[in-house]
Chain A
Amino acid sequence: MAIPAPALRAETAHRPSAFARFLDSDLFASFRRSKLAMAAFAATLLLFAVAVLAPWISAQNPYDPAQLDLINANLPPIWEAEGQAPFWLGTDDQGRDVLSAVFYGMRLSLVVGVLGVLVSSSIGITLGLIAGYAGGMVDTAIMRIADVQLTFPAILIALIVDGVAKAALGGHLDTDATLALIVVAIGLSFWVQYARTVRGSVMVEKNKDYVQAGRLIGLSAPVILVRHILPNVTGPVFVIATINLALAIITEATLSFLGTGLPETMPSLGTLIRTGNRFLFSGEWWIVAFPGLALAGLVLAINLLGDWLRDALNPKLQ
């Protein structure tokens, strides 16, 4: 055969590891250029670490009433005259260490946030894939539901889901069930954005020839969707997931602040802010201020990371 094989070889075959390829990628280069992204990433990592390590780095377990002592109630932070170690950021009216409560609260907030994102993205991605690939009536049905849902604020959806479920289940739920309920409520309020984005990407990808080539060898629609299309639409999903993590955390905090979220015996950041709110006028500002700061810092760090990721993955903005 008249084809000179050696001259036609693609560039030299060396296969760097996945990690080495990541370090060499444009994404990583963009990350290295952005000081803000690096700071946000460091802050997020630190807050995640605190959340994971909460049981080992806290002075007390704020959920364990046996560890609380009313003698230590309402102590101010350590730098004020009456401040006492080990209550660095003071205590509340129950004698609960504010710093420990923030650590544990952050842990809860992140658990709810991450699970909420997982639920909402699973729902959204699935519906988006189906709507985008099937088109026609199926697409119309799914997207009209999404449109209707978008006319309500997400928090309202979460409140409705929460309220309806509680009414249906009889009002008294244990903490795990409450947690699950909040995750589902958040999941149901945030799926629309994923579905819309994924549907848009699928409609682009499904007309590409690699999908047609898959059809030509008789692959079924679910196989094509999962094997070929899904891996190529994950970029934007990742961006939304990051930004939605912050939104989910805020939603949980809002629900807890409104009193329909996690109970005072198992306080998340939102619950802490709600209970601390009562002491604002009696001078014990630290009970609400530090959970508030922690929440603001967490959400800000994740949002900055999400913004950078969105810009870095969108070549049009560069």
Chain B
Amino acid sequence: MTASPAPAAPAAPEDYVRVENLRRLFDVSRPWLNRVIERQPRQILRAVDGVSFTVAKGETFAVVGESGSGKSTVARMVVGLLPPSGGEVAIAGVSMTDPRQEAARRALRRRIQMIFQDPYASMNPRWRVDRIIAEPIRAFGLIEGERAIRARVGELLTLVGLHPDDGAKYPHAFSGGQRQRLAIARALASEAEFLVADEPTSALDVSVQAQILNLMRDLQDRLGLTYLFISHNLAVVRHMASRIGVMYLGRLVEIGGGRELFSAPKHPYTRMLLDAVPDIGRSGRQRMPVQGEIPNPISPPSGCTFHPRCPFANARCRAEVPPLADGVACHAVHEGRLAPGLAAAG
């Protein structure tokens, strides 16, 4: 069985994915007529507000955050499903926004694929599985001849742990975990080398989640894949990622290597999250009570958006947005008021 990694795109630089100052605004105002009549101002949601990170070839970079953090919006912009309002995404040295690089972008298109959260919505329910998996092959004209395409589909199904005969069935005949395998097979059908996985296991049961996470790691080892992994689950992220970015209300508040981020978190939000997560490995420990909830992203707090929930906030935090420096966006850490560590909060 060969599923050879595709010949790499021209001159892959050190940073395979470079995201710089990425922004996305959504206009969530009422319709124009209602606004005029009810005298309401326009409402702009800053879903993503100046996010920068890089992903090296072959590594897994994870973006973790709670609802409203903008992590899924980042994923959709990186993969090209959503145009950014500002900033820049470059993959394998090709800008995803520069109109002059349209040709290079088209050639790169098939190298970038996505694995979606809901395995029940990510496949056309009226198509047979072999047709679903063959669609990218046909769309990009990768293989000529029905017989060869069929063989390749069988190979992909085997690669993700299914049987070539399964191609004759419709998606509804498969369980959630099996569908997620099919989604991975489809993503690999176009010889993708960079997969953006948006909460790929959050709809699955834990024993099935383990199968999918293991499969993703196996495939990464075999095919040299690069992952951008989006999740709200810190334990899953810790298991999968070599580097992690923590998002809160549209901004990256901390970024760092997995091990150090979990053993010595810097940002108060990261500490709070780590302390709050119900986790089987740490039951019965004393936890500090978590305060408050995520504010409405349409009218976020001034300055550092975490300040209303932060025990270390002072006047500067309320006024000034902290820049991301040394892997953390926090005035208290920058000023030396707060040293990295788990139990420091409180």
Chain A residues in the interface with B (C-beta under 8 A):
1-6, 8-11, 13, 15, 208-210, 212-219, 228, 231-232
Complex contact A6–B168 (CB within 8 A): no
In the bound complex, CA of A3 to CA of B81 (Å): 32
Chain B residue contacts of A4, Cβ below 8 A: 161
| B218, A215: Cβ atoms closer than 8 Å | no
Instruction: Assess the A9–B109 pair: CB atoms within 8 A.
Output: no
CB of B125 within 8 A of chain A? yes
Instruction: Judge whether B113 is part of the interface by a CB distance below 8 angstroms.
Output: yes
**Number of CB contacts from chain A to chain B under 8 A:** 89
The answer to whether B168 touches A212, judged by C-beta atoms less than 8 angstroms apart, is: no
Q: Are A219 and B214 in contact (CB under 8 A)?
A: no
Contact pattern, B 155-185, Cβ under 8 Å of A = 1, otherwise 0: 0001011110110110001110010010100
A134 smallest CB distance to B (angstroms): 16
User: B110–A217 contact, CB under 8 A?
Assistant: yes
Indicate if the CB atoms of A216 and B79 lie closer than 8 Å. Answer: yes
A11 to B160, CA, bound (A): 17
Whole-angstrom distance between the alpha carbons of A219 and B123 in the complex? 15
How many Å lie between the Cα of A231 and that of B112 in the bound state?
27
Q: Are A231 and B126 in contact (CB under 8 A)?
A: yes
CB pairs A–B below 8 angstroms (19 shown): A5-B161, A8-B161, A10-B175, A10-B178, A15-B168, A209-B117, A209-B118, A210-B124, A216-B79, A217-B109, A217-B110, A217-B113, A217-B135, A217-B190, A218-B109, A218-B139, A219-B139, A231-B124, A232-B125
User: Cβ of B110: which chain A residues have Cβ within 8 Å of it?
Assistant: 217-218
Q: Which of A9, A228, A231 contacts B166 (CB 8 A)?
A: A9
Instruction: Please tell me the size bucket of the interface on B.
Output: 35 or more
Nearest CB in chain B: distance from A51 CB, A: 32
Min Cβ gap A315→B in Å is 14
Task: Determine the residue in chain B with the shortest Cβ distance to A210.
Answer: B124
- Which residue in chain A gives the minimum CB-CB distance to B215? A3
Whether A213 contacts B161 in the complex (CB less than 8 A), given A2-B218, A8-B178, comes out as no
Q: How far is the CA of A218 from the CA of B34 in the complex (A)?
A: 37
Tell me, yes or no, whether B122 is within 8 Å of chain A by CB: yes
Q: How close is B175's CB to chain A, nearest CB, in angstroms? A: 8
Cβ contact of B173, chosen from A1, A11, A208, A210, cutoff 8 A: A11
Most chain A CB within a 10 A radius of its CB, from B79, B109, B124, B140: B124
CA distance A10 to B124 in the complex (A): 18
Given A8-B161, A11-B173, A209-B121, the answer on whether A216 and B168 have CB atoms closer than 8 Å is no
Asked if A210 contacts B109 (CB within 8 A), the reply is: no
- From B126, B178, B214, B218, name the one whose CB has the most chain A CB atoms within 10 angstroms: B126
A2 touches B169 (CB 8 A): no
Q: Is the CB of B80 within 8 A of A216?
A: yes
- Decide yes or no whether B39 CB sits under 8 A from chain A: no
Given A209-B122, A210-B122, A232-B124; 9 other pairs, CB 8 A cutoff: A5-B158, A8-B162, A10-B169, A13-B166, A212-B116, A217-B135, A217-B136, A217-B139, A217-B140
